[in-house]
Amino acid sequence: MMLIRPVQLGDVADILHLSSKTGIGLTSLPKDEAHLRTRIERSLATWEGTLDKADQGYLFVLEDTQLGKVVGVSAIEVGVGLSEPWYNFRLGTLVHASKSQNIYKPVPTLFLSNDHTGYTELCTLFLDPDYRHGKNGQLLSKVRMLFLAAFRDRFSRKVIAEMRGVSDDNGHSPFWDAVGRHFFGMEFAQADRLTGLGQKSFIAELMPKHPLYTDLLSEEARAVIGQVHEQTAPARAVLESEGFSYQGYVDIFDAGPTLEAEIDALRAVKESQLLRATITPSRNSETEGVYLVANENYQNFRALLVNSDDDIGQLTLDAATAQMLGVNAGDTLRAVNLFPQAGRNNASRQLSQAS
């Protein structure tokens, strides 16, 4: 069975192993044991309530309970930019005009922005390539939205998700080569690693302070602005199916898009239901509906997938599933259909690729 739960200190070895498979571009999961251990400790402190909002972050793991190992991670940052500046580029337009020459020329530009300061962020989504099948990717990504719904008062009004931009296996990023390399004086992979380790002061010290005219960039660099890495396209589709959209903000390193949404407008938040658990020794799981189900226990949050009829006035669990969720008969559960009703078949085809 595949189970979502809060991270534990004992997971550090499994997460370190996962980080060795991420490649360049996933800055929030560097292959560095000391940093990962600190990240886990910060998550534990968040659940314990000992951190200010500026420092709070939740890290979830996907555990293969049969093997007892962590095979995926995903995370929520409570409020970005509250303890250190949060940067991205905003696509905009400057107009150059000359009445005497009868010329009116809109010029596309990139403006340095801190517009998302204070927003909640979905981040650090990575699934072991060996587990990119079935519904694992959907479970790992969407559980965060169910957590937002369950503990809504702990988060901001808006949520963002930075998507990995275009780069190759050797760390070549067309946007970085056209922009970042000239300002930062280092390779994309090095800047990516420093950011992942939390060493971000160089960004404020070295990044361009004035609008950039995108027409002056190479054609290759312009083509990747707002585009995602091929391995990230399914993850983007999952978020967009839940209500996220691209509003013209991109990453300052690789120009990957930042998606955003009102938390209360997310499908999983609007459509999730509070139900009473009914437990039976065993049950037939061959039903059409697939539901993401979680307990309402903040300190011992658990979530997994349950097959059930589409119309679930109540939720019947077998004894093993109830034990995995840590619930008894009559306890409150939160459930949402895994797929939006519209386009369910398209979402199903994307499951094996989400990462």
The confidence score (pLDDT) of residue 341 equals: 65
The confidence score (pLDDT) of residue 198 equals: 60
The confidence score (pLDDT) of residue 83 equals: 87
The CA distance from 150 to 269, in Å, is 8
Q: Which of 35, 133, 210, 229 is catalytic?
A: 229
Instruction: Summarize pLDDT for 263-306 with one digit per residue, the tens.
Output: 999 999 999 999 998 898 876 655 567 899 999 999 999 999 99
The confidence score (pLDDT) of residue 288 equals: 60
Do the Cβ atoms of 51 and 42 come closer than 8 Å?
yes
For range 17-43, the mean pLDDT: 84
CA torsion, ordered 327, 329, 334, 340, to nearest 10 deg: 110
For range 164-168, the mean pLDDT: 89
The confidence score (pLDDT) of residue 31 equals: 83
The confidence score (pLDDT) of residue 348 equals: 34
Alpha carbon separation from 135 to 104, 268, 307, 312 (Å, rounded) = 52, 16, 12, 20
229 is catalytic: yes
Instruction: Summarize pLDDT for 213-267 with one digit per residue, the tens.
Output: 999 999 999 999 999 998 889 999 999 999 999 999 999 989 999 999 999 999 9
The confidence score (pLDDT) of residue 352 equals: 25
The stretches of 214-260 forming alpha helices (DSSP H) are: 219-223, 233-241
The CA distance from 220 to 168, in Å, is 13
Choose among 273, 230, 324: nearest CA to 1: 324
The confidence score (pLDDT) of residue 308 equals: 76
HEC assignment per residue over 38-51? HHHHHHHHHHHCCC
The CA distance from 328 to 333, in Å, is 10
User: Residue 300, class by beta-carbon neighbours within 10 Å (0-12 exposed, 13-18 middle, 19+ buried)?
Assistant: exposed
The CA distance from 62 to 47, in Å, is 18
The CA distance from 92 to 69, in Å, is 46
Residue 185 has pLDDT above 60, yes or no: yes
pTM of structure: 0.89
For range 347-352, the mean pLDDT: 31
The confidence score (pLDDT) of residue 309 equals: 65
The residues spanned by each domain of the chain are 2-89+113-267, 272-340
Query: The domain 272-340: what is its CATH number?
Result: 2.40.40.20
Strand pairing report for 158-162 and 212-213: unpaired
How crowded is residue 206: how many other Cβ atoms within 10 Å of its Cβ?
Answer: 13
Amino acid at 278: T
Residue 96 has pLDDT above 80, yes or no: yes
Instruction: Summarize pLDDT for 302-313 with one digit per residue, the tens.
Output: 999 998 764 566
Do the Cβ atoms of 3 and 300 come closer than 8 Å?
no
Which superfamily does CATH assign the domain made up of 2-89+113-267 to? Gcn5-related N-acetyltransferase (GNAT) (3.40.630.30)
3 state DSSP class of 78: coil
The CA distance from 179 to 208, in Å, is 9
Structure tokens at 41: 């400790």
The confidence score (pLDDT) of residue 283 equals: 63
The CA distance from 273 to 327, in Å, is 16
